[in-house]
Amino acid sequence: MTAAIFCKRTDPECRVKIYERMDRVGKKLLVTGNGQCNLSNIYISLEKYHGGPSDFVMQTFSVFGYQATIDFFAEIGVLTKTDQSGRIYPYSFQASSVLDALRFECERLGVQTVLGCEVTDLRRRNDGFQFTGAGRQYYADRIILCGGGRSSAQCGSNGSCYSLLRQTGHTITELFPAIVQVCAKNTNVARQLKGIKLNATASVLVNGQRLRQETGEVLFTDYGLSGPPILQLSRIISTHMSNGNTVEITLNLLPEYRIEQVKAMLVKRAAAISGRCMDQFFGGLINKRVGQVVVKGCNIPSQSHAGSLTAQDMNALCATLQNFSFVCRGTRGFANAQVTAGGAQLDQFIPATMESRSMGGLYCCGELLDVDGDCGGYNLQWAWSSGACAGKACALSFKQRF
Ligand SMILES: Cc1cc2nc3c(=O)[nH]c(=O)nc-3n(C[C@H](O)[C@H](O)[C@H](O)COP(=O)(O)OP(=O)(O)OC[C@H]3O[C@@H](n4cnc5c(N)ncnc54)[C@H](O)[C@@H]3O)c2cc1C
């Protein structure tokens, strides 16, 4: 929709049509940001993006960055609001208002929409293109491919555009799910804690080496772990698991305290509540059920008294509180992922115009390209920026032909 809008705005003479496989356009937008649509972030920077060379992304943002996005949305009636962590939302906090605004702007400009039309075949024909959509043949002078990745196919993006890219001689890099929940091997522990949310620092250890950590609300589920820090770490987990490495998530359940402070606190606590059974020992400090699992994990009998804890028990409790460990079994896959990592290889496209280097007149934007961002509005920002650039460049190239 952004590509279509910028194409029409650049050259109102262009006839622009969106071919959409679903029964309505922009379905995925409705589920973004838990229905609130986290549409960008003020902290756009290189390290938030992964995939192909990051200068491709930055060159595109230098043409259409987050301020251009905010201005664009203001023009179509969507006022935005930034939260404390830099995430930008529509002032209404309704994803549907973002989709409506895009739809109305498409309508105003005369962009046509063909629904229920999955494009399944795309080839060069003379100076333009021939393609098949829902069994019918169509022709176009220019094509902008923007079919998204493979994640959350129920919202429309089923990965079918990768075949169209391959068919036109482009390379697709390895695809894997990102921003996705993580499955643990020791599900019996996660299952006992199912539904509990707590603030923790989650670290990813690959073959024992700590690679990245994120702090926030972790959710225990029957399959493993979820919550913002886990989603944020899932990309690195996916990558290393696909390389056959052993990947582990450890949770620091008392992230504000250093290990010696935790030790001192436990010793004091054991003295103060020495008569209390160990299954009640952590009540008031961490979630009671989590505390009971920690005690059990340290092989301390639940009915023993706090006063009988040995120095060895104390060390084991401290270590577990700071490294509550889950060995990863995998992720919840594309069906549950928010984005697809990997995609159309960037060096086959021109940054800031998004045009194919080998097939002039073919453009590609959004998640379909080998670009994925962290959680926090970075993926939609990439979709708006690359879409706007592709739309503009496509209209200009068409204009210049005459
Ligand atoms: C649950 C969830 C929450 C998310 N929350 C956020 C968030 O808050 N902030 C953020 O930045 N990102 C978020 N994302 C990621 C973000 O939604 C995507 O990165 C973004 O929508 C990608 O935009 P796109 O236009 O490239 O692809 P899509 O939005 O996936 O759109 C592609 C469209 O092309 C259509 N299509 C695909 N193949 C064909 C074909 N062959 N023929 C015809 N039509 C086709 C699809 O039906 C779809 O409508 C979230 C994703 C999910 C799943």
Q: Is the CB of 51 under 6 A from ligand 1?
A: no
Write out pLDDT tens, residues 177-202.
999 999 999 888 888 999 999 999 99
Q: Is the CB of 181 under 6 A from ligand 1?
A: no
Residue partners of 15: CB distance under 8 A and separation at least 6: 112
CA distance 255 to 228: 16
Q: Which of 232, 379, 386, 389 to mutate to test the pocket of ligand 1 (most atoms within 8 A of CB)?
A: 379
| Token pair of 186 as six digits | 């020791």
pLDDT of residue 49: 96
pLDDT reading at 375 higher than 70: yes
Of the candidates 226, 227, 202, 205, the residue with the CA atom closest to the CA atom of residue 215: 202
Taking all residues of the chain, what is their mean pLDDT, rounded to a whole number?
A: 95
pLDDT reading at 322 higher than 70: yes
Q: How confident is the model at residue 15 (pLDDT cuts 50, 70, 90)?
A: very high
In ligand 1, the atom with minimum distance to the C-alpha of 28 is 29
pLDDT of residue 243: 87
pLDDT of residue 401: 65
Residue partners of 195: CB distance under 8 A and separation at least 6: 219, 220, 221
Q: What is the mean pLDDT of residues 147-156?
A: 96
pLDDT of residue 190: 85
pLDDT of residue 54: 83
Q: Is the CB of 32 under 6 A from ligand 1?
A: yes
Percent of the chain with pLDDT over 90: 95
Atom 52 of ligand 1, nearest CA residue: 338
Q: Is the CB of 21 under 6 A from ligand 1?
A: yes
Write out pLDDT tens, residues 270-301.
999 999 999 999 999 999 999 999 999 999 99
pLDDT of residue 257: 94
Q: What is the mean pLDDT of residues 2-10?
A: 98
Pairing relation of β-strands 197-206 and 182-184? unpaired
Residue with tokens 């409705």: 30
In ligand 1, the atom with minimum distance to the C-alpha of 386 is 26
pLDDT reading at 116 higher than 60: yes
pLDDT of residue 251: 97
Q: What is the mean pLDDT of residues 306-331?
A: 95
Q: How confident is the model at residue 242 (pLDDT cuts 50, 70, 90)?
A: confident
Residue partners of 112: CB distance under 8 A and separation at least 6: 15, 16, 17, 18
Residue 301 alpha carbon to ligand 1 centre in Å: 50
Fold of 2-177+340-400: FAD/NAD(P)-binding domain (3.50.50)
pLDDT of residue 186: 82
pLDDT of residue 400: 72
pLDDT reading at 172 higher than 80: yes
Residue 383 alpha carbon to ligand 1 centre in Å: 8
Ranges of each domain in the chain: 2-177+340-400, 181-331
pLDDT reading at 79 higher than 60: yes
Atom 31 of ligand 1, nearest CA residue: 148
Number of other CB atoms surrounding residue 342 within 10 Å? 23
pLDDT reading at 75 higher than 80: yes
Q: Is the CB of 390 under 6 A from ligand 1?
A: no
Type and span of the H or E element at 312: helix 311-322
Residue 148 alpha carbon to ligand 1 centre in Å: 5
| Token pair of 82 as six digits | 């930034």
CA distances from 219 to 194, 196, 207 (A): 8, 6, 24
Q: Is the CB of 366 under 6 A from ligand 1?
A: yes
CA distances from 221 to 62, 189, 247, 326, 363 (A): 41, 10, 18, 12, 41
pLDDT of residue 402: 57
pLDDT of residue 188: 86
